[in-house]
Amino acid sequence: MISLKKKLFSDENLARIIKILVIILLVLAVFFMAIQFTSLWTWITDAIKAVIVPIGTGYLIALIFFPLIRFLEKKGIGPRWLSLLIVFILAAAVVFGTFFFLFPLVKQEITNFFTNDVNKIIQYLTVDMRVNFVLGTDIYDQLVAYINETDALNTWLDTLVPNLLAGLSNIALPLITVISVLPIMLFYYLKDYEMIGERLRSLIPAKQEKTVSDLGSRLNQTVGAYLRGQLLLMVTLGIVATIVYKLIGLKYFYIFGIIVGITNIIPYFGAIIAAIPPILFAFISAPVGPGPLLVLIVNLVLQGIEGNIFQPIIMGKQLSMHPLIILMSILFFGSLFGTLGIIFASPIAASIRVFIEYFKERKAAREAKEAAERPVAP
Amino acid sequence: MIKAGGKGKIYSLYEIAVILFYASVIAFVPVVLVVTYIFDLDARLNIDTFILWLVIGAAIAGAIGSVILLWRKDHLKRRVKPAYRTEFIYLLFLSVFFVLGFVVFFDYLGGDRAYIANILILITVLLIYILINLGRTFFKFDYMKK
């Protein structure tokens, strides 16, 4: 007897579902196998990391430098090595000049801080804070007694220094390698920029060449725009914050200004991280210097102008995303890749959007083509 | 200057270059003062004499630049872009450092620091108004339009 009941899945769909399930199972099996050989994988990933980190850094810096080289070449300054040399000399002059002038001033501020203000902070934490403690002096005393009893502070301090040293020694060698290899790598990368692109393109199968090449150039454009814009904003905001802090009479304005510039790379959270140290310092050192409220207002105004006027104009529509998407990507990529994930959350999210939009455009174009080819009913 | 269908005028690179050049000349002294202020150079040199030399330098640069602009007028008049985004971004950054430099200038001249916030707000509001109008009219960059 033939059943007339409609099937839940067609044979074609069922076959597809089984195929997907088998693939998922195989992937899980591969993961399971991989977990069994952790040390081998660590060895392999370390080796890959040693190559990827300088290449990746070189690629990102090349995205900043290449438009400058193209600009010089457009103005007739060539051949390539000459424009490259000019850009290299200019970059080196800017970096060394900044260090030469800025380093002694920052060093002076750090020395002053440890000579004059550390004692004030300790005095505040032990005496003034007790009197002004929000929950009352009794709870403050109990908290201090608990910290002293458990020796939590000393244990934390004892582990802090070795951990910091271990962390520094872990990143010192890769950092030295990157710094020493980077200029040479960058030179050849920029010199043969087009040739490298051509070679990479020649590796792609002819059928996918156009898709990959289009996507690649769009991604280059998006990440490049982000890096250049972000660098410009970081430097400008750092300078502006330093001057404004100095004008309102805040001590250690270089350090606080540099913090504002550096943390500006982290969307939303960077502004909060940068505002905390100067506000706390103003709070502790009151009535000397500007009040914490003024420092807070300065930070709010600076970040407000930067986020609402400068960022949209400089970054353009390429990187304009809903704040919720940026926050979610910060949380997601931050948990995946740590600090680097937080820093690059915005360009990664923008790159994903480039992918989605590209395939959407292709789908729309395909559908339009099919509609045009369809015979019109008489 | 080209009329685009009666909707708005499209300005040539000459008009834009004139705006950018004279804005740079006006902002030259304040921008240099920003650098001297950051690196505490005022402690190492006589700031009054330094400002005088800067003003003379800006005047000479202004005169030379004006001649060059007139000389290249025809060439620049022939070049037109639908929008001058990069040029506007340059003007924006110049304005920021101009505002800061102006306040530094006020500080160097011995002005009362208590009024710095008032001056800063006044100049910023004025500059934002000028920038929005310049952007809309000449640079075809309407920030207010979403």
ipTM of model over 0.85: no
The tally of domains found in chain B comes to 1
Model confidence at A228: pLDDT above 80: yes
Among A32-41, A228-237, A317-326, B100-109, the range scoring the smallest mean pLDDT is A317-326
Mean pLDDT of A246-258: 89
Mutation target for A interface from B96, B121, B141: give the one with most A CBs within 10 A: B96
Q: Which residue has the higher pLDDT, A120 or A368?
A: A368
Among A154-168, A175-189, B48-62, the range scoring the smallest mean pLDDT is A154-168
* Helix or strand (DSSP H, E) at A275: helix A269-285
Contact check, Cβ <8 Å, B116/A248 = yes
Contact check, Cβ <8 Å, B113/A240 = no
Dump the DSSP string for B57-73: HHHHHHHHHHHHHHHTH
Instruction: Choose the closest CB to A242 out of B38, B113, B141.
Output: B38
| Chain B residues 27-66 with a CB less than 8 Å from chain A | 34, 37-40
Ranges A110-114, A118-122, B56-60, most confident = B56-60
Residue A44's pLDDT is what?
85
| Chain B residues 76-95 with a CB less than 8 Å from chain A | 85, 88-89, 92-93
Mean pLDDT of A225-240: 89
Q: Which residue has the higher pLDDT, A207 or B61?
A: B61
Contact check, Cβ <8 Å, B88/A313 = yes
Residue B6's pLDDT is what?
42
Mutation target for B interface from A102, A246, A247, A295: give the one with most B CBs within 10 A: A247
Residue B146 belongs to some domain of the structure: no
For residue B117, give the chain A residue with the closest CA.
A248
Lookup: tokens for A267: 């969307």
Instruction: Choose the closest CB to B93 out of A236, A243, A248.
Output: A236
Report whether B118 contacts B106 (CB < 8 A): no
Three-state SS at A298: helix
Residue A6's pLDDT is what?
64
Residues of A in contact with B132 (CB under 8 A): none
Residue B90 belongs to some domain of the structure: yes
Residue B5's pLDDT is what?
44
Mean pLDDT of A53-72: 86
Residue B52's pLDDT is what?
92
**Distances A91 to A65, A71, A216, A298, B54 between C-alpha atoms, Å:** 9, 15, 27, 31, 26
Among A337-346, B50-59, B78-87, the range scoring the smallest mean pLDDT is A337-346
Report whether A366 contacts A211 (CB < 8 A): no
Strand partners, B3: B9
Residues of B in contact with A101 (CB under 8 A): 39
Tell me the pLDDT of chain A averaged across its residues: 83
Mean pLDDT of A180-203: 85
CA nearest A112: which of A249, A263, A255? A255
Contact check, Cβ <8 Å, B37/A248 = no
Q: Is residue A86 less than 8 Å (CB to CB) from chain B?
A: no
pLDDT tens-digit map of A67-84: 888 888 888 887 888 888
Residue B144 belongs to some domain of the structure: no
Q: Which domain holds residue B84?
A: 2-137
Model confidence at A87: pLDDT above 80: yes
Residue B10 backbone phi and psi in degrees, to 5: -100, 125
Residue A3's pLDDT is what?
54
Residue A238's pLDDT is what?
92
Q: Is residue B98 less than 8 Å (CB to CB) from chain A?
A: no
Cα separation, A303 vs A300, whole angstroms:
5
A376 — pLDDT class (breaks 50, 70, 90): low
Model confidence at A1: pLDDT above 60: no
Domain boundaries, chain A: 46-109+139-207
